[in-house]
Structure 1
Amino acid sequence: MELAFIYQARTPRGKGISGVVYARNRSLAFGKLKKNGFAPQGLAFSLGATVKNLINPDFNPPDLARFYTTMGRRIENNRSFLEGLDSAVEFVSDEKLRQAIMVMRQSSQEGQDPREAMLAAELPARDAMVIAAAQSSGSTGQAFQSLAREIRQSYELRRSVSAIFKMPAFMAFLMYGFFYGALIFVAPNTIKFLAQTNLKLHLDTFNQSYFDFATWFNANIFIASCVYVAIPFFVVAFLKSPTFSRMKDRWPRLRAISEKSDQAVLWNSYALLYNANMMAREACAMCARSAKRVDSREAFLRLGRLMESGRTLDESIALAGFPKFVSTGVKSAVSGGNVVDGLGDMVKNLDEDVVALTDSLKENVKIMATMITAAGVGLLFSVTYYPLVSTVLSAL
């Protein structure tokens, strides 16, 4: 796990700078700063930045896309690359990306090309390779802007899919909190009230079990509360596990969204690398490292091996294990004579399919959210009013 350290340092030209550096410990943080040409003057651990990096270790996608767009436009307009890096530091809000840009600027001042500077700044290796390949064809500016469009589209898609499940998740969390309140506030008062009545009470199985559990819970409030609070964290960990990913793949619509969104991003990357004249095996390996799904990664690795053995793209795609919609789209792109434009059309079609599938899924999730809300209300009633009402009525 990488820790975050706020630093103050001086550049080789003596200019004072500050920022956040990420490393496993304080010594490695100092070493990273010195490696990038900075003279550290102060270093302090930052808990907030460390937690933020632990939750999301990647660069902020909108900021990264904005940075790439700005640099691409500057290069196309023959403006200074270093000045672009200087201005980018001012408009980027992501601390991690700002630090990367500062490292990139320092590397550029030392004479390194954009690819080397991006690798030194620990920007995505795939992006650095795209820029390196584009430099030879004089299309660096276009490559930066293409990367920006891809990042933006991928981010919007992930945000759209995540938004579908926000309401059901919020309702489930809310009901979970209400149930805790019922256990420690409502149940003890209900038990106390029933004990003070002169009625001959008869508890059914549900009420007896619930009151026994509530009594035990309140008698061991600290341990029980710790376990209760820990359960959502275990649930979140399970939801992010490979096991849950395999379970989601059994739902055809979710699998289709996952497959098509991953393939759209990967083939857009492949088109960029192909257009930049990168060797097929390297391009496929780079796409494989960027894949979110295991089957996508393995298919690209097989594609690279097949093409290295001498087969053409349209021959290899049929043997690499890609979904049929990919094989058909790639063959169409090759037969059309312009592979880059053909792959671009395929990616657009996949993006449109994902949007349509996502919109359809939203309707189903709305129904699911309504059912979760109804079930939650029923559960709250069963642990608040029902035990009291049913017990009193049974004694009359």
Structure 2
Amino acid sequence: MNLTFAFSARQPVGTKTVSGLITAESDVFAMAKVKKMGFINPVVSLDIMHTLATGFGFFKPDDFDLREKARFYETISKRIKLGGTFKDALDSAKEYIEDGRLLSAVAIASAAQESGLRPWKAMEMGGFAHRDVMVVKALDMVGGLDKSFWDLAQEAKLRHQTQNAVRGAMHMPQTMTIMFYFALPLFFGVLGPQMLSFFKKLGSTVNIPPDIQALYSFVGEVNDNPVMWFLAWIAMGFGAWMLLKSTLWQEIKSHIKSFHDLDLKSEHAQIWSVYALMYSANIAPQEICAILRPACKLAVTGESLYVMSRRLAAGADEISALEAAQFPRFVNAGYRSAKDSGDLPDGLKSFCQMLQEDVQVLTEKVQAVLQKISLAIAVVLILAVFYITYYPIAGPMLQSL
């Protein structure tokens, strides 16, 4: 379990204070991490909001807010191109960044820059993604620092668009699930007891079906032990959240064609856009595969990157290694086409644009299916509410007509 701590510390030289966020098992480990960065006199305190947002470290995001990250990288690129310094760009970024984790990374990187570290090293200390650090390092060595941040900004924008498309497809079912979850305590704590009291007053004049009797008996049980069932309700919500973040949920979705296709295309749109960016920075394909593998959400994609990396290390050419890795056929075709064009990075960017279009189409299809399912579930819930509340009263009256 990892907690998020806010810290402040001083730089070894001067009196300037650095503030940021850091994750650790305890405040002792947090202070040790801050000292390891080269800062002195650290003071740490638990950041409850960020700790809860990350589920005590179980749901830590794999990157910063992509929209802010893209704006940050694009602004840095423009400032450096106009003759500004990386340090000045970092200092000015503190005024417009709202993402706490990104703001913390920028503050740490800015402090590291004052110690004379190279931009990529300062970013590494700040906790930026390893692939971003590698791109900046590679292009900085050939005088292309501004281009590295511009390319990273475009890649972040593409990933942001892809993620928004996938989230859009899941918006309605997520909303309905949350509404149903919070409706449960309202029924068992308010409506159910009122209906139970009402039926008791009516006595034998109302013929309640056995299944409804069982439900209201359960309502009585819940109200006799409210604390226990409240904790069970909390545990149910936490369990559902854990399921959505687990590999089991990914396995379940992989057997539903619409979800599988959407997840597959969106992941490869992101992976190959980063691959193209790193390839253009003259980073070896073998190293790119090793860097990208931990970022994969689908286990099969990570395994394919591992095989491709191993084949490249053994001396195979890119096409042979790609085919041996058993990527989807559309990836093999897109990579081969990009390679044959004579400009692999540009060809892969075009390939990713096409994948992005596929993601949009698949998103619309999934949304249409989920809307129908959500509507059907809503109808069933409405009928269920009618059955357990009004039917015991209206049923006998209708039968007597």
* TM-score normalised according to structure 1 size: 0.91
The answer to whether the Cα contact below 8 Å between 1:268 and 1:344 also exists between their aligned partners in 2 is yes
* SS of equivalent to 2:131: helix
Cα deviation code 1:274-310 (max 9, x no counterpart): 1111122111111222222111111112112222222
Alignment of structure 1 residues 25-44 onto 2, 5 Å:
25-40=26-41, 42-44=43-45
2:217 is aligned with 1:216:
no
Cα deviation code 1:51-78 (max 9, x no counterpart): 2344544422222222211222223333
Aligned to 1:268, which of 249, 270, 273? 273
Cα deviation code 1:130-182 (max 9, x no counterpart): 11122233322222122122222212322222232222222233234334333
* SS of equivalent to 1:174: helix
Alignment of structure 1 residues 1-396 onto 2, 5 Å:
1-11=1-11, 12-40=13-41, 42-54=43-55, 55-57=59-61, 58-197=63-202, 199=204, 201-390=206-395
* SS of equivalent to 2:4: strand
* SS of equivalent to 1:22: strand
The answer to whether the Cα contact below 8 Å between 1:200 and 1:395 also exists between their aligned partners in 2 is no
The answer to whether the Cα contact below 8 Å between 2:181 and 2:237 also exists between their aligned partners in 1 is no
Cα distance change of structure 1 residues 151 and 395 upon mapping to structure 2, 3 Å threshold: same
* SS of equivalent to 1:43: strand
Cα deviation code 1:327-383 (max 9, x no counterpart): 011111111211111111111111111111112222222212211221221122122
The answer to whether the Cα contact below 8 Å between 2:19 and 2:107 also exists between their aligned partners in 1 is no
Counterpart of 1:270, as a letter, is: Y
Question: 1 CA distance for matches of 2:50 and 2:357?
Answer: 37
Structure 1 alignment gaps of length 5 or more: none
Question: 2 CA distance for matches of 1:158 and 1:335?
Answer: 30
The answer to whether the Cα contact below 8 Å between 1:178 and 1:380 also exists between their aligned partners in 2 is no
The answer to whether the Cα contact below 8 Å between 1:172 and 1:372 also exists between their aligned partners in 2 is no
Question: 2 CA distance for matches of 1:333 and 1:197?
Answer: 76
Cα distance change of structure 1 residues 67 and 383 upon mapping to structure 2, 3 Å threshold: same
Cα distance change of structure 1 residues 18 and 329 upon mapping to structure 2, 3 Å threshold: closer
* TM-score normalised according to structure 2 size: 0.90
* SS of equivalent to 2:324: coil
The answer to whether the Cα contact below 8 Å between 2:18 and 2:107 also exists between their aligned partners in 1 is no
The answer to whether the Cα contact below 8 Å between 2:172 and 2:374 also exists between their aligned partners in 1 is yes
Question: 2 CA distance for matches of 1:331 and 1:190?
Answer: 67
Counterpart of 1:314, as a letter, is: I
Cα distance change of structure 1 residues 349 and 189 upon mapping to structure 2, 3 Å threshold: closer
Aligned residues: 396
Cα distance change of structure 1 residues 8 and 267 upon mapping to structure 2, 3 Å threshold: closer
* SS of equivalent to 1:203: coil
* SS of equivalent to 1:40: strand
Cα distance change of structure 1 residues 31 and 217 upon mapping to structure 2, 3 Å threshold: closer
Q: Per-residue deviation at 1:238?
A: 1.5
Cα distance change of structure 1 residues 82 and 332 upon mapping to structure 2, 3 Å threshold: same
Percent identical pairs in the alignment equals 28
Cα distance change of structure 1 residues 370 and 103 upon mapping to structure 2, 3 Å threshold: same
The answer to whether the Cα contact below 8 Å between 2:3 and 2:24 also exists between their aligned partners in 1 is yes
Counterpart of 2:97, as a letter, is: V
* SS of equivalent to 2:141: helix
Structure 2 alignment gaps of length 5 or more: none
Counterpart of 2:380, as a letter, is: A
Question: 1 CA distance for matches of 2:381 and 2:328?
Answer: 40
Cα distance change of structure 1 residues 4 and 190 upon mapping to structure 2, 3 Å threshold: closer
Q: Per-residue deviation at 1:392?
A: 6.3
